[in-house]
Structure 1
């Protein structure tokens, strides 16, 4: 494994830890960090439910944190976003406007991924800024984290339905 791959895995592990914080709050476990000059300048995790904000995806939360920390709406030229799930269309748009230089993501998002999976937004030629990206860093761990979360949610819903059914039969 190259030094660059080791570095990417180091930062992705920190994004993965952010995703675990989201899961602990009942949010879909997606985490993100933004790195510049080997320092974290922004971090965040999915929080649309707890913040009552449909735009509070991990990438957006991390961008807001970074921009507040550096006091600029544009990121430094070397800024890299690490995120555990392929960004959606909204997040790609925000990343373009932030002028991030690179995005490294873990799991692919078949339904809403906008770099590789569902859409390839940069193939449109529309954007005035294009960042490079790397797909699949810690893909298995990131995918398993999401799968485990949704499996638990399904089991919780199943248990709730069983309890409701039991209560209804006791009436």
Structure 2
């Protein structure tokens, strides 16, 4: 099983299939690049010869808040760094 905060992208979804993972558990959907149903659905493509059980939305609100806070801090630190240079 793989547990992650954000819905995997296309490359990660492909890696999950090629690694033949049995289960993917993720918290927050990614409406920009999600590849497990939000934008694409690579994992459910019937042309693959491996099926992955997907569990979505586990602690989604908490995970979304953590992601927002992480990127807010990241932008703030980058801004401070630019202002020092």
**Alignment pair present for 1:159 and 2:80:** yes
Match of 1:119 among 16, 22, 40: 40
Output the TM-score relative to the length of structure 2: 0.84
Which has more radius of gyration? 1
**Counting helix residues as a fraction of each chain, which structure ranks higher?**
1
CA distance in 2, matches of 1:125, 1:110: 22
The residue correspondences of 1:12-161 to structure 2 (distance < 5 A) are: 80-161=1-82
Gaps of 5+ in 1: 1-79, 165-171
TM-score by length of 1: 0.45
Deviations 1:103-162 (Å, cap 9, x if unpaired)? 110111122211011111245322110111011101112111111111011111222333
Structure with the bigger RCO (C-alpha within 8 Å, sep 6+) is: 2
**4+ residue runs of structure 1 moved beyond 6 angstroms?**
none
RMSD (CA atoms): 1.6
